[in-house]
Structure 1
């Protein structure tokens, strides 16, 4: 194993045990990108972020905190620098990698949200991620209430009525009361945001038949959530099976069944184990 790989694995191990308050969202996103791109590109990404922060600091020198700074941030990101959602190829995996988003000025809802969050916080704006149904959003608490933003669509603010419609279309529940909506708008923790990136990538790579890449994402998800979500072990086992690594698949499936013996798919997983764990014919 190279020194760079050892350093990367150590960083993932540290992320596995980190508490919510100590996880740096940008560094976590760059750690994900580092699995696909060389460290030189990741370092260049950090430099680009620093340059954006410097440019923004100059723009807000005489701008009061709050809504005015938020407008300045959005003007800079979506008008001056022309960051935008990739409507032409929404499912391009590059939309999920922060280094590629910074270089290409194209992203998906979650990567553009991370960019808005990071640069906003450099200006004193405590922007939060919102893991809203179907489409990742951001929010900012202001003196006169909460503003909910859609970075994929140039950072525009969303009305309560539009949020209700969006939620209802995905969750098939209408109307939404205020308490339900409030829960949907709860800030997403960095660990869950990183997990959403990895799950998106895992699904994209699986659908493209790029099983080794999907397996890599699944392995990182196990690192992040193994203590709380045994389903990640089951999913990694299935990808190990597709990649031809049956011994590893069997170990993951056994672990999953041990922790969730009454799961809805337990019988199907046991059937797979019976087939694949059966010893081969003996030679006389």
Structure 2
């Protein structure tokens, strides 16, 4: 008897179950299975491995870290032509690794995942940085760390990083800065390496925001299913999924999500509003078809 293949959601859940065994490239690639269920993820990794092999052939065995970085940037940005998709930022394929690999265009975070894979395969130590507004990469080099923009590989100065950070600071933080606290002291907190789970969460948030703004509830629900699997104790994700389920007429599942949110979120500020929505769903019952 043949065992049925796991669903795309089950497959993603298996990939992200354990942080120790989580493969960022494979799990990030698997996000696209929500939209491309027949996607061959093995082919994605094979293509990356072949690119890494081509890059390694350019490097002498004793190549230092800086020589490896220069070769990687020449190969990734100039020879292969990877960069941002400035012509269509709202294309969901900007977040799908297989499409970014084919088109050489994508969001900074998707470019970063591909960059990190190749960097690791040529012996470089690099991390993703979940910087506000624009995902970054931190390279660990013998003489120190370099923070680069994954869109073009440019190394960013401290002044440039501070300038990018300032618009995202809250009123209280701005007051502290005006009172004498240096922005440089704060910057380090925003340059900490992001875990694989944090990178995947940001990729999913990008897609969820896009589908929500487009009013595409079915595609939004597919992403929210993965968000809940990835971060099962972020109860706000249950609320968000519950509200999408309610809008799609899946009342029973919506009630379960919203009830769990109210039970576990610890008295959230939107509790009364969500409780009223939950009561209305329970009173209305399942949708009636005429």
With normalisation by structure 2, the TM-score equals: 0.89
- Residue matched to 1:3: 4
- 2:26–2:45 Cα contact (<8 Å) kept: no
- Residue matched to 1:218: 224
- Runs of 4 or more, structure 1, over 4 Å off, are none
Q: Which is further off, 169-178 or 94-103?
A: 169-178
- 2:8–2:37 Cα contact (<8 Å) kept: no
Q: How does 1:129-148 map to 2 (within 5 A)?
A: 129-148=128-147
Deviation, 1:63, is: 6.1
Residue aligned with 2:147, SS: strand
- 1:63–1:69 Cα contact (<8 Å) kept: no
Q: Distance in 2 between matches of 1:15 and 1:192?
A: 14
Q: Distance in 1 between matches of 2:9 and 2:92?
A: 22
- Residue matched to 2:90: 91
Q: Which is further off, 207-216 or 127-136?
A: 207-216
Q: Distance in 1 between matches of 2:79 and 2:45?
A: 20
Q: How does 1:187-226 map to 2 (within 5 A)?
A: 187-226=193-232
Residue aligned with 1:157, SS: coil
- Residue matched to 2:166: 168
Q: Which is further off, 60-69 or 218-227?
A: 60-69
Q: Distance in 2 between matches of 1:35 and 1:61?
A: 41
Q: Distance in 1 between matches of 2:62 and 2:182?
A: 37
- Residue matched to 2:278: 273
Q: Distance in 2 between matches of 1:3 and 1:76?
A: 41
- Residue matched to 1:158: 156
Deviation, 1:261, is: 4.0
- 1:109–1:135 Cα contact (<8 Å) kept: yes
Q: Which is further off, 263-272 or 36-45?
A: 36-45
Residues 215 and 230 (structure 1), Cα distance of their counterparts in 2 relative to 1, 3 Å cut? same
Q: How does 1:224-235 map to 2 (within 5 A)?
A: 224-227=230-233, 229-235=234-240
Q: Distance in 2 between matches of 1:109 and 1:64?
A: 28
- Residue matched to 1:76: 75
- Residue matched to 1:260: 265
Deviation, 1:126, is: 1.2
Residue aligned with 1:258, SS: helix
- Residue matched to 1:18: 18
Count of residues in correspondence between the two structures: 275
Q: Distance in 1 between matches of 2:218 and 2:53?
A: 39
Residue aligned with 1:146, SS: strand
Residues 191 and 176 (structure 1), Cα distance of their counterparts in 2 relative to 1, 3 Å cut? farther
- 1:191–1:224 Cα contact (<8 Å) kept: yes
- 1:125 partnered with 2:124: yes
- 2:9–2:34 Cα contact (<8 Å) kept: no
Q: Which is further off, 58-67 or 198-207?
A: 58-67
- Residue matched to 1:55: 54
Structure 1 portions without partners, runs of 5+:
none
Deviation, 1:178, is: 3.6
Residue aligned with 2:253, SS: helix
Residues 107 and 37 (structure 1), Cα distance of their counterparts in 2 relative to 1, 3 Å cut? same
With normalisation by structure 1, the TM-score equals: 0.91
Residues 15 and 46 (structure 1), Cα distance of their counterparts in 2 relative to 1, 3 Å cut? closer
- Residue matched to 1:238: 243
What is the aligned counterpart of 2:191 among 174, 185, 188?
A: 185
Q: Distance in 1 between matches of 2:14 and 2:42?
A: 20
